[in-house]
Every structure is written in structure tokens, then in C-alpha cells.
Amino acid sequence: MKARVHVMLKNGVLDPQGEAVHHALGSLGFSGVEGVRQGKVIELELAETDEAKAEAVVTEMCEKLLANTVIESYTVELA
């Protein structure tokens, strides 16, 4: 089973990388962009075949390592 984890900074947390991308897009003439938030995607290949167990394991991974839950939020997508 495959899992995809999307990690983003929580709303209200300063995103300097997003601001840098926003500024660069403006410099390149893309004036219609009102804001940019940058995150990360982590793809995992799991041996687990039970969807509920896989989601529980990936959630535990996020809570312990993949996301800094103080400043980041995450979503888990299973396929």
C-alpha cells in the first residue's frame, strides 16, 4: 500500500520560503499570485494491507517524525 503525506505550515506561521517564491514569481511577471505557502510531500511504500492499520501507522510516523506538529499540519492519503 502507498501512502502520501502532505505537510504544510499551519496558518499564522511565517513561511519565508513561500514568501521568497511569491517574490520571485512577481519578479518574473506573474502578478496575479496573491500568496504562496510551501510544504512537502512524503511518499511511503508500506507492507501493511489493512487500510485502517496503515493510516494509524502513518499517523504515528507523522506525530513522531515526519511533521513538527507544533507549527505544521499534515494530511494522509492512502492508495
pLDDT at 42: 98
Total number of domains in the chain: 1
Q: Looking at residue 59, what is its pLDDT? A: 98
* Per-residue pLDDT at 53: 98
Expressed as residue numbers, the domain containing 21 is: 2-78
Exposure on the CB side of residue 35, measured as CA atoms within 13 A: 5
Measure the CA–CA gap between 74 and 69, rounded to whole angstroms. Answer: 8
CATH, residue 17: 3.30.1280.10
pLDDT tens per residue across all 79 residues of the chain? 999 999 999 999 999 999 999 999 999 999 999 999 999 999 999 999 999 999 999 999 999 999 999 999 999 999 9
